[in-house]
Homo-oligomer: A and B are copies of this chain.
């Protein structure tokens, strides 16, 4: 099992007056990487929410490298870094597609919640799938 990979171009609206991508957008790119990776490992997050389980972001960290610019093609590499009974942590690397230059790296820790925002445990099948994928990627 390999990490996930999302690939897309920088949108004009994602730039700021410094002429580069505004740093808040990397959180959204992480999220896109996570959605794509979950689908790849057989977990459709839209269905997960419809089943009444919500993965809310409890913590995020980002370290920025080289700036991304409008129309650059970027790659987001996603993997699972840690699985707990009530939380799962995804780690990300964002690279410029043509040079593999590092644009950013970071993680988000997601907390399992029900529709009312109360913390709950992850369902057993999801927990096992996340753990399985994490071990396969690490080896």
Contact = CB atoms under 8 A, between A and B. Distances in A.
The quantity of this chain's copies bound in the complex is 4
B35 A13 contact: no
A17 B57 contact: no
Contact of A16 (B16, B35, B61): B16
Chain A binding surface SS class: mixed
A136 interface: no
A3 interface: no
A92 interface: no
A37 to B, nearest CB: 13
Interface stretch (A64-72, A80-88, A119-127): A64-72
A27 interface: yes
Interface residues of A, number: 39
25 contacts: A8-B8, A9-B32, A11-B28, A11-B31, A11-B32, A11-B35, A12-B16, A12-B31, A12-B35, A12-B45, A17-B19, A17-B20, A17-B49, A18-B54, A23-B27, A24-B24, A24-B25, A45-B71, A56-B67, A57-B64, A59-B61, A59-B62, A59-B64, A61-B61, A61-B62
